[in-house]
Amino acid sequence: MNLISFDSLPSTNEFLMELSKKDANSWTVIHAKNQTKGKGYAGNEWKVVDGENLTFSFLLKTDYTFQQLIYFNEWISNTICLFLKQFHPKNNVKWPNDIILNDKKVCGILIENHRSNQIMHSIIGIGINVNQTDFNHLPKASSLKNITDTQYDIEAILTDLVELFQKEYHILEQKKFDLIHETYLNNLFRKDKISQFKLDGVEVAGIIRDVNEAGNLVIEIDHQAREFKHKEIELLF
């Protein structure tokens, strides 16, 4: 691991993306105590409280194709869930890119990719709410501190998490796609449970059944399987 830390950056993903286009190696890690223009999934902004949360990005270079990246993304989520079990046994992936701990969002993921000379460069951006306590403006969010009533060393969490990614990397490297997907479905929030969704402005009942090879969410609505892209349907919880 090559760790580079900053007090503040506009975006760790953007900084590492530029490095990846030069000569950065896998397991280059960019950590910032504060992000002024943090990026979230699908163009959303990731806002953090200065010094209270973990925001970092790391680089992996693989021979994955764009079609195989669905399993890459699932492996990232699976590994974060495995890591967070030490803080609370109830943790899940909320499709497509959030990690839920004890029914509260504590982590967001943004993965950006570019391919050069037959090598896939993947920038994995991760934000974890660690010591922040005020979420009045975000009722579905929480932090490790709020959930466990414990103050944490943010840099120690960063080191431990990256080391777990390195330990679990053999699963990704060996392309154990069936294992990755099975684990992901076991981690999937509200899978096989009747849930409420907002679809075209109307509240409907449905059951999450799968995430398909295109990365779309498969929901059973009125006994019919339907697939949805991000922002086409909203899970209410």
Model confidence over 141-170: pLDDT tens digits? 999 999 999 999 999 999 999 999 999 999
Q: Quick one: pLDDT at residue 47? A: 59
Same domain, 174 and 214: no
Q: Quick one: pLDDT at residue 179? A: 98
Residue 25 DSSP class? P
pTM: 0.93
User: What is the total count of domains within the chain?
Assistant: 2
Express each pLDDT in 115-126 by its tens digit. Answer: 999 999 999 999
* Of 44, 119, 1, 98, residue with least CA distance to 13: 44
Same domain, 222 and 152: no
Q: Name the burial class of residue 165, with classes exposed (0-12), middle (13-18) and buried (19+) by CB atoms within 10 angstroms of its CB.
A: buried
Q: How far is CA 44 from CA 74, 108, 143, in A?
A: 20, 11, 20
* Of 157, 181, 152, residue with least CA distance to 68: 181
Q: Which domain holds residue 64?
A: 2-187
Same domain, 88 and 172: yes
Final residue before a domain boundary, out of 170, 187, 204: 187
Final residue before a domain boundary, out of 187, 203, 228: 187
Residue 71, sorted as left (phi over 0), alpha (psi -120 to 50) or beta, turns out to be alpha
For residues 4 and 38, what is the distance between their CA atoms, to the nearest angstrom?
A: 17
pLDDT lower than 70: segments of the chain = 38-48
Same domain, 97 and 147: yes
Instruction: Please give the share of the chain, as a percent, with pLDDT higher than 90.
Output: 89
Same domain, 158 and 212: no
Look up the CATH number of the domain holding residue 209.
Answer: 2.30.30
CA torsion through residues 223, 228, 234, 237, sign: positive
Query: In a 3-state reduction of DSSP, which class is residue 230?
Result: coil
Q: Over the range 30-39, which residues count as b (16 or more CB within 10 Å of their CB) and which as e?
A: bbbbbbeebb
Return the structure tokens found at 115. Answer: 């391919």
Q: Quick one: pLDDT at residue 136? A: 86
Query: Is the bond into 96 cis (omega within 30 degrees of 0)?
Result: yes
Q: Quick one: pLDDT at residue 42? A: 46
